A and B are shown apart, each in its own frame.
Chain A
Amino acid sequence: MYILEFFQAIVAVATPFKLAVLTSSVVLGIIFGALPGLTATLAVALLSTVTFSYPTEVAILALIGAYVGAVYGACHSAILIGIPGTSAGAATVLDGHKLALKGLGGQAIANATIGSAIGTILGLVAILAVMPLMTSLALEFTSIEFFLLAIFGVLICGSLTTEDLPAKGWISGILGLLIAMIGIETIQGFSRFTFDIPQLAGGIDIVPVILGAFAIPQIIRALRDHDPGKVQMAKLNGVRPDWKLLAKCKGLITRSGLIGVGIGAIPGVGEDIAAWTSYDATRRASNDPESFGKGNMRGVIAPEVAANSCIGGAIIPVLTLAVPGSPPAAMLLGAMWMHGLRPGPMLAIETPEIIPQMAAFLFWAAIAMAVCGLLMARLSVLVLRIPATIFMPIVAVFSVIGSYALGLNVFNVYLMFFFGVVVFFLEEMGYPVAPIVIGVILGQMADVGLRRGLLVTHGDLMPFFTRPVAFVFVLLIIYALVGQSAWARRLARSLFVRLRRPRAGTSGP
């Protein structure tokens, strides 16, 4: 555990400049989270280019602030107008907006704020508790395990983020991995898929891919169907948390926190799935499940706690394995690379101060989010009145500057636009975007891991199955591939029935 270092880092962060940067980032994140169409990933991506010239510590602090703020900010629009600012707030709409229509909007936002702050802190506790174990486990990984981990990450992300066929999620992941193949590869220096375009020789940067993939489709979707009219805003009333209820929800908060951390640690599976899973678990565990969806405050607290604890969960694999737990965490990983950090098993050895620092950043971000969130509830009412026809075109201006700022290269702006349009059409056909991003991030790890692994084994594939951790990953990959298919479930069910039948026969008269 990094307890002492964590408290030292908390004190070290508490300088006026750093707290000012953090507060600004949290406010920016809350606005991004609250405005439908703008996402946490976009907030982190834009801020990563803006803070590129900042010292590493300040830049990462700003990104964490924006990440926490944006995941939380989604609840403002979810509660007030019944439209989630980001997918992380989708589960909050069900009960949050009903409460707002009953005149309890302010209390719902206040409870969601405190729930989110507690969730963020639960996430940082998980980082401090799990990191030493995860780091020692990650140090046992060889190239083979990293290759299998990357493949598993892309496939499980595809399985869990698709809304249609699992194969569509896997195809998205494969397309992401293929994008990562563009450029001069590191082992032989061979130029792959560059089509003699010199700007492609260095490979594709993650920033234009993320900015394009998360900004352009949102702009198109927000404005294509109809002229968005004036939003129907519910009344806010008093923004005061119900402390008695929050105290009664200790079990719910703990369960939601654990769900959030667990789901966050799964590669590429983000806050939205954590929120939905937690909402469903809370409804099932409740004495009055029928009250959910009609304005139950627990239906607001549970998804908010899970969504924000998911941040800590998503950061754990970033730091230990260089595998992002969610799309915003993918951008965070990209930003850490840009600042010369090397997340992965060696991070705890090369720059051990990063781990408690990251937890301290989350701690201050949770505090800043709680304060700003409660104060900004009334500001959100004003922000949410800005028509999409005004702010969506402005998002494109930000995306252009963000893409250009990295490397001062107009070619990145072209790439941003290209990926944005392609991702829009892919999403329209049911191909999710998260596996593409995870694929782009993990492509190099998978490629180099496979070839280095085979170099060590002289081309022998058996160690991919005989090494214990590798074998676990092979099983997980098989699960990711067949776990959701109907025939696999039928097979498992028939096997289960067959196994039970003889026992039933022997116990009979």
Chain B
Amino acid sequence: MEKQRLRKVDFLFSLALIAFGIVVVVAASRMPWTSTQTGISAAWHLSPGLFPALLGALLIVFSLSVLATAVAAGGHRDIVTFVRGALARIPRNRSLHRVLLIIVLIGGYVFGLVGHVNYYVASSIYLFMFMLLFHKAPRGRSTTRNALMLLAIAIAVPLAIGYLFSTYLNVPLP
């Protein structure tokens, strides 16, 4: 990410981190400070909220430091225009589309398939979809032949991994 753009992102994200730090401090302040869960009185320094409160405070301080650097570099200037421009570029941002596609594919495998469908079937579907979308056929090879090769890999790899893990390494499959 180029420096000027990074400082604008820093400006926005440090504000979010400061807000998160405040949430942590507030959550820590609501933990028992003068008594235990069972009602026995306890000193402040034994409170389960002590270290999280310290971490929340440090998060705020360090995020303020990032914010100050971002502001000094002009990261706060034209921030609304920057956000609007970034949002407007989303439909044309191929790199972002690929990132989101990868996240959706792995997310679909993790949340939609693993634990719901048989491991071999789940992994084969995921691998085939992923490779079909991202792997291009080398020059001279037909798309059908490429797809068949990917299908063979998508079936063979989970079988090999499953056999290796469950038979030799005693690791159960999801």
Interface SS, A side: helix
- Tell me which of B58, B98, B111 has the highest count of chain A C-beta atoms within 10 A of its own C-beta: B58
Given A190-B32, A401-B171, A454-B45, the answer on whether A428 and B1 have CB atoms closer than 8 Å is yes
Can you identify 8 A-B contacts, CB atoms within 8 angstroms? A53-B169, A188-B42, A224-B98, A400-B123, A413-B174, A424-B99, A447-B51, A454-B43
Let me know if A492 is at the binding interface, CB within 8 A.
no
Chain A contributes a number of interface residues (CB within 8 A of B) equal to 63
Q: Is there contact, CB below 8 Å, between A429 and B106? A: no
Interface SS, B side: helix
Which of A51, A408, A455 is in CB contact (< 8 Å) with B45? A455
Given A219-B106, A397-B127, A454-B45, the answer on whether A390 and B51 have CB atoms closer than 8 Å is no
**Chain A residues within an 8 Å CB radius of B165:** 50, 401, 405
**Binding stretch for chain B, among A3-11, A83-91, A171-179:** A171-179
**Chain B residues within an 8 Å CB radius of A51:** 169
Let me know if B147 is at the binding interface, CB within 8 A.
no
**Chain A residues within an 8 Å CB radius of B69:** 165, 167
**Chain A residues within an 8 Å CB radius of B163:** none
- Tell me which of B66, B111, B127, B157 has the highest count of chain A C-beta atoms within 10 A of its own C-beta: B66
Q: How large is the interface on B (under 10, 10 to 19, 20 to 34, 35 or more residues)?
A: 35 or more
Q: Is there contact, CB below 8 Å, between A400 and B51? A: no
Q: Is there contact, CB below 8 Å, between B55 and A174? A: yes
Given A188-B46, A451-B46, the answer on whether A401 and B161 have CB atoms closer than 8 Å is yes
Q: Which residue of A lies closest to B139 (CB)?
A: A230
Q: Is there contact, CB below 8 Å, between A450 and B50? A: yes
Q: Is there contact, CB below 8 Å, between A390 and B62? A: no
Let me know if B6 is at the binding interface, CB within 8 A.
yes
The complex places the Cα of A49 from the Cα of B172 at a distance, in Å, of 11
CB within 8 Å of B: which A122-157 residues? none
Min CB distance B49 to A, Å, is 8
Q: Is there contact, CB below 8 Å, between B51 and A451? A: yes
**Chain B residues within an 8 Å CB radius of A420:** 106
Let me know if A242 is at the binding interface, CB within 8 A.
no
Min CB distance A44 to B, Å, is 15
The 8 closest A-B pairs by CB, nearest first: A454-B45, A389-B135, A393-B130, A190-B48, A167-B65, A447-B51, A404-B174, A410-B115
Which of A50, A393, A451 is in CB contact (< 8 Å) with B127? A393
Q: Is there contact, CB below 8 Å, between B153 and A405? A: no
Let me know if A78 is at the binding interface, CB within 8 A.
no
Q: Is there contact, CB below 8 Å, between A188 and B171? A: no
Q: Is there contact, CB below 8 Å, between A400 and B110? A: yes
The complex places the Cα of A225 from the Cα of B99 at a distance, in Å, of 9
Q: Is there contact, CB below 8 Å, between B50 and A404? A: no
Q: Which residue of A lies closest to B54 (CB)?
A: A450
Q: Is there contact, CB below 8 Å, between B127 and A168? A: no
CB within 8 Å of B: which A380-428 residues? 387, 389-390, 393-394, 396-398, 400-401, 404-405, 408, 410, 413-414, 416-417, 420-421, 424, 428
Q: Is there contact, CB below 8 Å, between B17 and A417? A: no
- Tell me which of A187, A190, A224, A393 has the highest count of chain B C-beta atoms within 10 A of its own C-beta: A393
Min CB distance B133 to A, Å, is 9
Q: Which residue of B lies closest to A174 (CB)?
A: B59
Q: Is there contact, CB below 8 Å, between A187 and B48? A: yes
